[in-house]
Amino acid sequence: MVIKILGSGCPNCKRLEQLAQEAAKEIGVNAAFEKVQDIQKIMSYGVMSTPALVIDEKVKVYGRVPSKDVIKKYIEEEI
């Protein structure tokens, strides 16, 4: 599983990455994490506001930081 955090590296982007890593660890999922900061790549996902969470190339949420429980649900949907 590949989990991508799309964003410029702002505090919300860092928070989303932290929560996603914690969620994956708590579920027991071995995931590779990537940061995507290039604006052209971010836009290629159709994302117009960051941060965004992409799991296995599917945009799950953008423009906000969801709770850890919501992130767990997104991860479980892709297992």
Contacts of 27 (CB under 8 A, 6+ apart): 72, 75, 76
Reported as type and span, the H/E element at residue 4 is: strand 2-6
Active-site residues, by number, are 10, 13
User: How far is residue 77's CA from residue 40's CA, in Å, rounded to a whole number?
Assistant: 27
